[in-house]
């Protein structure tokens, strides 16, 4: 597949699947008026700090919604210290601060800690390519993210998050809720979903969890594996060899990760609606 055609396919799939993926994988867990007002009130009460953080982020090409990370970390309180010993607006642990040359004493310095946070967030994004995973990694560390990805056999947050500490899962939920309150949740989810699709089409390291030539996507129990094989012109036995245990997972959980060779994945995604329609019709017969 040529790069231009690949990009066209990616665009078509993103347009057709965007609303489906937003609903299925990630969403704000608290959209109540009280939650929205709480976050907005904290931002409005710390306008000078927020303005400085947003300027620092924009200066380095980072999205302004990352100001919500400081919001949920500390409520913009530069003098706060957590029970675990994290300090300041960005809640730097000593080890994290030392990694970027921020002294223990300067962790509650708004200027120096923000500049350090910008560098840290930039590096994390280069590694994970989506802000949801970045927020998780900022909270629990890259080591825990690597362990969770290995345990789940996936680089996608909605798949590996169940292997993360509960605190981190809740932290990401708070971030999504804060972004809902600031009207930036669609941007965050679009970034996450674009990253998900890129792992399918570009076959990045995270999408090769079951071999160097396999990519992954999600399906539900409505899909008939025989019809998938028929539409892709592959033998059912071959399909099952790429997806051991998929029948059991579909039956028990109602959904599963589907692994296909990278060159077949675009065909599946383009025919996904047709395959599901055939599956439903044949299931009714």
Residues 140-172: tens digit of each pLDDT: 999 999 999 888 888 889 989 999 999 999 999
Residues 197-208: tens digit of each pLDDT: 665 544 333 333
What is the architecture of the domain spanning 25-201?
A: Orthogonal Bundle (1.10)
From CA 145, how far away is CA 148, in angstroms rounded?
A: 5
- Residue 112 pLDDT more than 80? yes
Instruction: Tally Cβ neighbours within 10 Å of residue 203.
Output: 18
Contacts of 271 (CB under 8 A, 6+ apart): 231, 232
From CA 243, how far away is CA 16, in angstroms rounded?
A: 25
Quick check: pTM over 0.95?
no
How does DSSP assign 46-112, residue by residue? THHHHHHHHHHHHHTT--GGGHHHHHHHHTT-TT-B-TT--BTTTTB-HHHHHHTT--GGGGG-HHH
**Residues of each domain in the chain carrying CATH 1.10.530.10:** 25-201
The pLDDT of 81-96, averaged and rounded, is 93
CB 182 within 8 A of CB 39: yes
CB 16 within 8 A of CB 276: no
Contacts of 90 (CB under 8 A, 6+ apart): 69, 70, 73, 74, 107, 113, 114, 116, 117
Q: At 13, is the pLDDT very low, low, confident or very high (cuts 50, 70, 90)?
A: very low
The pLDDT, as a whole number, for residue 184 is: 96
């Amino acid at each position: 597949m040529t790069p231009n055609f690949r990009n066209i396919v990616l665009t078509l799939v993103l347009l057709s699947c965007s609303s489906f993926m937003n609903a299925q994988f990630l969403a704000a867990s608290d959209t109540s008026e009280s939650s929205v007002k709480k976050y907005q009130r904290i931002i409005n009460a710390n306008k000078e700090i927020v303005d400085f953080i947003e300027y620092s982020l924009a200066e380095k090409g980072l999205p302004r919604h990352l100001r919500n990370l400081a919001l949920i970390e500390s409520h913009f309180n530069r003098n706060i210290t957590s029970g675990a010993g994290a300090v300041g607006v960005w809640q730097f642990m000593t080890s994290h601060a030392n990694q970027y040359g921020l002294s223990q004493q300067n962790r509650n310095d708004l200027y120096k800690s923000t500049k350090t946070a910008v560098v840290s967030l930039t590096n994390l994004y280069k590694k994970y390519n989506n802000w949801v995973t970045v927020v998780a990694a900022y909270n629990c560390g890259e080591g825990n993210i690597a362990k969770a990805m290995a345990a789940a056999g996936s680089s996608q947050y909605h798949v590996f998050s169940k292997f993360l500490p509960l605190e981190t899962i809740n932290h990401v939920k708070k971030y999504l809720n804060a972004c809902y309150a600031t009207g930036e949740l669609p941007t965050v989810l679009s970034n996450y979903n674009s990253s998900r699709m890129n792992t399918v089409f570009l076959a990045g390291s995270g999408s090769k969890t079951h071999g160097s030539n396999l990519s992954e996507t999600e399906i539900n129990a409505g899909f008939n594996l025989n019809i998938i094989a028929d539409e892709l012109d592959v033998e059912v036995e071959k399909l099952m060899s790429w997806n051991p245990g998929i029948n059991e997972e579909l039956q028990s959980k109602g959904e599963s990760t589907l692994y296909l060779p990278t060159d077949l994945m675009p065909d599946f995604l383009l025919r996904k609606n047709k395959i599901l329609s055939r599956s439903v019709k044949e299931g009714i017969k």
